[in-house]
Amino acid sequence: MAFGSKLRTRRKRLRTRLVGLKTAYPALFICGVIAGLAFVPGARAQTAVIADAWWTYQQDCNGDGCHAGTLSGDQARLNWIPDVQNCNGSLTVYEIVYSKPCDSSQWTAIYTNSPHSIVGCRSSDTRFTNIPMTGGCACRDYKIEIYRAAQTVPDDARFGTNDVDLFQHQEQLLSEDYCLSDDFATAASISGVVGSHSDNNTYATKEPGEPNHAGNAGGHSLWYRWTAPASVPVIFDTVGSSFDTLLAVYTGDNVSNLTLVASGINRARRCRTWFCGGRLLPRRSSRGLSPATIAKWSKAAKHPERTRC
């Protein structure tokens, strides 16, 4: 009886020791798994994204909702910002740009970028490609996919469902984008003491009765109407235009019977005109090739009604 009791006691102690071993080792193993899980997601979070996309070098001069490219060859520029998700370090990536007619489901790759390095939350990583616009106000959708180097599945895609600039982009040729400002009678209105406006006057014309601005025949001019909000000196200039410009300012209601306020021919692509008060008609023109033109106006500290070029 005593022997049996002693044997059962030893078995009980042995069982207790084994149970203790089973509970100790699994606990250590589970801790190891948890530590591993804490590390792995950090590595997986280093993925590439397209943070934004937008167009430049395009215009809609006649306001019909169709965009014309102002770069050579009727091209507009599609820009995007590749980024590292959560600003987490750096990656080597490449992008593929696709397009399709709005009524189609078939995407066509139109541009593939070379692999390049990006750093999380660095705006200087912006990329672009120039895309020829189609004519007739055709509707096209665009998509940008971003891939990590040597990957065949994109980390991210930006298209019409998450970026309105890529959705139903209506396009026309620059020759189809008639500017209302080409004619005196339909000149676009601009306002305020400070502002800027850009257009492309490649297909602008000179209408019958239009004066020679700054004594030069010009030939590709645009009209704008501006009424001074207060009696203060204001400067108009064409600094930033991509060609030599003419700039003239008039008052009057008939293109063949205008009163000149100030005018000038630029040298080194800049022309400034000072004037003060009234309802004025700034006129921009060119002497030769005529791509993008820029007009800016701002309050002047002095020298009203004077021109310097």
Neighbours of 108 (CB within 10 A): 10
Question: In this predicted structure, what is the pLDDT of residue 299?
Answer: 52
- Of the candidate CATH numbers 2.70.50.60, 2.60.40.10, 3.30.450.20, 2.60.120.380, the domain formed by 179-308 belongs to 2.60.120.380
Q: Is the pLDDT of residue 36 over 50?
A: no
For the chain, residues classed under CATH 2.60.120.380 are 179-308
Helix (H, G, I), strand (E, B) or coil at 70: coil
pLDDT by residue (tens digit) across 80-121? 999 999 988 999 999 999 999 999 999 999 999 999 999 999
Who wins on pLDDT, 55 or 291? 55
pTM of the entire predicted model = 0.60
Q: Report how far apart, in Å, the C-alpha atoms of 74 and of each of 25, 35, 169, 248, 294 are.
A: 71, 57, 15, 29, 19
CATH match of 48-175 with 2.60.40.10: yes
For the chain, residues classed under CATH 2.60.40.10 are 48-175
Which of 26-30, 74-78, 87-91, 243-247 tops mean pLDDT? 74-78
